[in-house]
Amino acid sequence: MPVNSNKPLQWKTDIAQSVDMYNDWFMEFAPTAFRNTRIQTTKDVEAALFAASYLTKINPAIFRNTPDILPTLRMSTCPPLAVDRLIGLAGVPAGMVKRIENEKKLPARMAAADVDRELAKIGAIIGKMADPDIFVWLGTEKTPTETEIHRAATIVADRLCGSVANPIIRNAQEKRQLAAIKTWLEARGYTQLPPGDGTRFDAMQPGTFSFRMNVPVKLENKVRSVNIPIDVVIMPKNAKARQLPMFFKIQSVDGFGKTNKYRKFNSAIMAQMHIIFGKRIQFNLLLCGYFDSSYLGYEAAEGIDWVWEHRMDDLALFGI
């Protein structure tokens, strides 16, 4: 029996309350989440600057010793360089730069001499474009002071955090949502499985729940298997033998125009699960933020139900 997906007359009220709840959280907690990340990022940048001799010697050895330094160096130029812009200016292989940027690793199949040659090109571009207004010691014989280093690191950290502001806020919101559902479940006698204990979703005991659990499913060809990460997996207290747990995906967005990417994603998960488990699977959403009627109608048509975070007690209507 659907809980919210079959009540379109209630959607408008819920949407307004959900938007208010997200905005209240954002105003109170998002600046703190961003600030804490910036503090840690500043420390990381200071360490990176030390490794790069405060941008006075950007050689291949720096990348070999600290391959995760590339984003910091990109944000140290004037203007800051996007990955593709760096690739074009340095004339280096795109795959190499993106591997360093995303995986923090150097190419595994390229000869060491070739790697060093390309790294030297990257270092030359960074050195040529390093921002003299930030790194005031460049072009002088002076050793930078602690104050100058910290000021420069703070500016670069701001640039780094600004480029990933949305993920920072999204991660903070997801943590808060998980904490909220954990509080609700534990207040009703549910027990969280220890992280990494190896319990499969189909071996959970009644009255237990888990976060970030992988559920193996087969693709449409029914040959290749993939793991689908599920945010919240709950085995109801009154579960019968061989009953599957309930799956919840947590979602939050800060604008009505940002829900499109979730539509196909959620329906794809549902389709993959139906291949293995049939119609008895219960895949639902925990929503907070800007979800309009169009989005809700699409999910309802796919057989996906949801719980609004501002009305968490609706979880009980799922039999939890």
Residue 294's SS3 state is helix
**pLDDT of 221:** 56
| Alpha helices for the chain (secondary structure H) | 8-51, 60-65, 70-74, 83-90, 94-103, 112-129, 146-163, 165-186, 260-277, 293-301
Question: Same domain, yes or no, for 154 and 68?
Answer: yes
Say what percent of the chain tops pLDDT 70: 97
C-alpha 75 chain-centroid distance: 21
Rounded Cα distance, 151 and 144, in Å: 11
27 assigned to some structural domain:
no
14 assigned to some structural domain:
no
**pLDDT of 106:** 92
- This prediction has a pTM of 0.70
137 assigned to some structural domain:
yes
Question: Same domain, yes or no, for 171 and 302?
Answer: yes
Range of the domain at 232: 166-318
Question: Same domain, yes or no, for 252 and 120?
Answer: no
Residue that finishes a domain, picked among 142, 163, 184: 163
Total domains present in the chain: 2
Question: Same domain, yes or no, for 179 and 44?
Answer: no
72 assigned to some structural domain:
yes
Rounded Cα distance, 28 and 176, in Å: 13
Is residue 187 scored above 90 in pLDDT? yes
Contacts of 189 (CB under 8 A, 6+ apart): 207, 237
Question: Same domain, yes or no, for 174 and 268?
Answer: yes
Average pLDDT, whole number, for the chain?
Answer: 89
Question: Same domain, yes or no, for 70 and 199?
Answer: no
**pLDDT of 33:** 79
